[in-house]
Chain A
């Protein structure tokens, strides 16, 4: 707040009229647009209150169908990633495969595989250098990927322990750096 008619008060008013905030930033203009999307839906009330069970069933069926089609691709991706890790491939080659596996395996109910890929992604991202992963660490991830490949559904304590182990390796690597 500023005293009435003080130079500071006049500055604030002028700034306000010019579209500037009191702290010197340009002020925002707000536009309220008509909702064109809603006009395209003949029964918008059906969108309220969460998804209809029939819709959810259709969605789950669509995911299941795509999952079935993806399994072959997933197996190929895991094989490519293991081969790349063992060959000493650079992070730039590992990242896209690991990233895809992380997303797709999780979506298709392979959380163990998704989490192995997630830890690998985090490790690669932490060290955006051109260096390959050291051989023994690459082998640990390759082994974990092999093990996770066929594991569907919720993780058991054994799988949780593997993920914890991988995270430890990633943390140690972060501390040492490449």
Chain B
């Protein structure tokens, strides 16, 4: 096996725990990412994103001032200043389903529950590099596609502009066709 060369990547770590910032920085260094900046809260993280344009954001969910969820929403919605496509890995001690769903709906790419392991962090970094999901915009949501599974067998109503853009009048009924099927 070869060792990937990740030295060109820049990562911002936002966490209110000094220990966790240190640990994540050391772990990123260990996988070959040396351009690592840190921020102790969402406000500073947002400013750094605007100035430094990191390639990946790793953020805690539960920070003082502006928390991780607010930070993610700010990044996704401030399209001119931060680049809304920034891959975001949320690291948190809250592994409850409601937190995972909130993170997903805020526009997080990957979710990583604390305590974090070496393999889990590496896996999430690889995932955002190798398998970026399409970006979705709707009235309520801006962020990576929340449909992780292949939904070609889905029979319910379509909610995407391009899903429903092919229509026909076969057999006296309107057919709203899924372009992917």
A interface residues, Cβ below 8 angstroms from B? 1-4, 9, 12-13, 16, 19, 21-23, 25-33, 35-38, 40-49, 51-56, 58-63, 65-66, 69-70, 73, 99-100, 102-108, 114, 121
Question: Are B31 and A55 in touch, CB under 8 angstroms?
Answer: yes
Residue in A21, A33, A42, A45 whose CB lies within 8 Å of B135: A33
Interface class of chain B by DSSP: loop
Question: Are B161 and A38 in touch, CB under 8 angstroms?
Answer: no
Further pairs besides A30-B134, A46-B4, A62-B23: 7, Cβ < 8 Å: A22-B164, A41-B8, A43-B2, A46-B5, A51-B122, A53-B1, A55-B3
Nearest 3 CB-CB pairings of A with B: A106-B115, A59-B118, A107-B115
Pick from B44-52, B68-76, B123-131 the stretch touching chain A. Answer: B123-131
Measured between beta carbons, the chain B residues less than 8 angstroms from A4 are 169, 172-174
Residue in B30, B134, B139, B157 whose CB lies within 8 Å of A22: B157
Measured between beta carbons, the chain B residues less than 8 angstroms from A69 are 22
- CA–CA, A45 and B121, complex, Å: 18
Measured between beta carbons, the chain B residues less than 8 angstroms from A41 are 4-6, 8-9, 129
- CA–CA, A40 and B158, complex, Å: 36
- CA–CA, A122 and B16, complex, Å: 20
- Is B27 close to A, CB under 8 A? yes
Measured between beta carbons, the chain B residues less than 8 angstroms from A55 are 3-4, 30-31, 122
Number of B residues near A (Cβ < 8 Å) is 63
- Is B87 close to A, CB under 8 A? yes
B interface residues, Cβ below 8 angstroms from A? 1-6, 8-9, 17, 19-20, 22-23, 26-27, 29-31, 55-56, 62, 85, 87, 93, 114-119, 121-123, 126, 128-130, 132, 134-141, 145, 157-165, 167, 169, 172-176
Measured between beta carbons, the chain A residues less than 8 angstroms from B121 are 59
B59 to chain A, nearest CB (A): 14
Measured between beta carbons, the chain B residues less than 8 angstroms from A22 are 157-158, 164, 176
Measured between beta carbons, the chain A residues less than 8 angstroms from B8 are 40-41
18 A–B contacts from the bound complex (CB under 8 Å)? A1-B174, A2-B173, A3-B173, A27-B138, A29-B162, A31-B136, A40-B8, A41-B4, A41-B6, A46-B1, A46-B5, A51-B119, A51-B123, A54-B3, A55-B30, A60-B118, A63-B23, A73-B19
Question: Are B135 and A31 in touch, CB under 8 angstroms?
Answer: yes
- CA–CA, A13 and B176, complex, Å: 9
Measured between beta carbons, the chain B residues less than 8 angstroms from A58 are 30-31
- CA–CA, A22 and B161, complex, Å: 11
* Closest B residue, CB atoms, query A66: B23
Residue in B3, B27, B126 whose CB lies within 8 Å of A63: B27
Question: Are A31 and B164 in touch, CB under 8 angstroms?
Answer: no
- CA–CA, A25 and B159, complex, Å: 7
With A42-B5, A46-B1 as contacts: A103 and B20 at CB distance below 8 Å: yes
- CA–CA, A35 and B130, complex, Å: 8
* Closest A residue, CB atoms, query B10: A40
* Closest A residue, CB atoms, query B116: A107
A98 to chain B, nearest CB (A): 10
B86 to chain A, nearest CB (A): 10
- CA–CA, A106 and B41, complex, Å: 23
A121 to chain B, nearest CB (A): 8
Residue in A9, A28, A66, A114 whose CB lies within 8 Å of B161: A28
